[in-house]
Chains A and B, each alone.
Chain A
């Protein structure tokens, strides 16, 4: 079933305490079988958008449609949407099986059907052996699986996931990400809205990513497209932590700190060069001899963090005050010393231009 949000706006508070706008003019359409990630920093409105779809908050303006039907005024109990929240919100006094059965019993399904469906769901998330346990006897990852089983038990046509992995530690998060990908294949017809602040989750799971900021939608596009050619500076830095360097245009050529970026055409209104940290190569400051499609920036190293598989080196560019360039240096390459002069090599195929931030 398609989920549609049209011009949805949500305000909190009242006239006396001052209103805050949590979501402004938000449009989104998620097709059956599609996964859309709402990605943004905290306070960007992504959770509010999800709560509006679930019916937990009432929009001050705009409509929400499920499969074409306007559900804006329906209470959550009558929307039939599966919801999984960050802290799982399992009912602590109910056993795992009763948690999963909660929605089925609310719908007054026959006993036999309830127990059959609970069995199926627990099997799907690999928790069959835990039906008699209480939530507090489960680990975070197990609770997460139960929460998903509970949401899917009511056979929703839409599943909303609100930061489902945020409460897990790093290793478990990676495992659960795999589980979620597998789960996606088991329920191919459901529309999934996945709220997260973590770009790696969004990239791994989503067909399309909606980047949000300050209660508004910034960009929405298929994940690969958004990563390869970010339409805005915010998306570029939030999704993949791109470097953004101010460019100048001189005689039809794009220049960064005086160095020409060969082969890059200037575009109107786009004054920042975007390049990913892993695309930059560091070289010793020797005169360039090879003829490559590269831009070469001279600068020096100001910080280096070892991260195991790679090191992140922070450099300053000569002639560009206040701009730092982050470079990922693979573990098999030598990391230059602090203060060392370096040349940053920018392959032009990894460069794109984005508009500067407004305001």
Chain B
């Protein structure tokens, strides 16, 4: 307890509600409200409508959702595998520092630069990927590997290595120790890395906007195109679609994690 008097607490809480509500929470609520508003010319939105949402779930916009989902699953989940592998292999090895630095590179560098690099590198021989969906998937993969690696590496610090030692002393082979002891103990971290990767991939805009071909437009790119054309309400509706999809995916992954922990 820091503030002991009732009036003191009340003042602090009111300040908290104002700052948190207006500064942090309001922007997200405004987007959701705008998605269902026909117009917004005053303090409150007016003419409630579902048209924007309908529009956001049809034609090109719907295709974008499908593109985003595919990208998130291909790029994000592969990133979890690579990131987990990297973190576990690097833990305690002589390459730990190098691996640590290399895996953190994609988040230390702006995502536009990651995109530019891919654009420069894969618009030429030996590998031509520019103009295909694979360059988008690779961009997402690279960014999400960094986050997955970080999440799993942090969890490794907390796991007591003596469990693996005990398992080995009981005669388990290294493969068995990995499969039955080390991986299960990291499962919560791995599934939260998966949730994080999918969520961040769904919202990724910097690298994507550098590399995407016209045939592979992700949701955020579509949302940007809509705002650029001045269709902000439809953009808000599509942002809500993005939010809802992300939340559903993360909740599902979280459920899996809950089940894994129970077991």
Contacts and interface: CB of A to CB of B under 8 A. Distances in A.
Contacts of A306: none
B214 interface: no
B5 to A, nearest CB: 6
B1 to A, nearest CB: 7
Nearest to B5: A75
Residue from A55, A56, A75, A77 having most chain B Cβ neighbours under 10 A: A75
B4 interface: yes
Interface in B1-46: 1, 4-5
Contacts of A56: 1
Secondary structure dominating the interface of A: loop
A351 to B, nearest CB: 49
A76 B1 CA distance: 11
Nearest to A73: B5
B9 to A, nearest CB: 11
A77 B8 CA distance: 14
Contacts of B5: 75
A76 B8 CA distance: 14
B13 to A, nearest CB: 16
A55 B5 CA distance: 11
Interface in A33-80: 55-56, 75-77
Nearest to A57: B1
Contacts of B4: 55, 75-77
B3 to A, nearest CB: 9
Nearest to B3: A75
A87 to B, nearest CB: 17
A76 B5 CA distance: 10
Contacts of A77: 4
Contacts of B1: 56
Interface in A75-101: 75-77
A56 B1 CA distance: 8
A76 B4 CA distance: 8
Interface string B91-130: 0000000000000000000000000000000000000000
Nearest to A76: B4
A53 to B, nearest CB: 14
A48 B1 CA distance: 15
A90 to B, nearest CB: 19
Nearest to B4: A75
Nearest to A75: B4
Nearest to A78: B4
A14 to B, nearest CB: 15
B11 to A, nearest CB: 14
Interface of B: 1, 4-5
6 contacts: A55-B4, A56-B1, A75-B4, A75-B5, A76-B4, A77-B4
Lowest 4 CB-CB distances: which A-B pairs, in order?
A75-B4, A75-B5, A76-B4, A56-B1
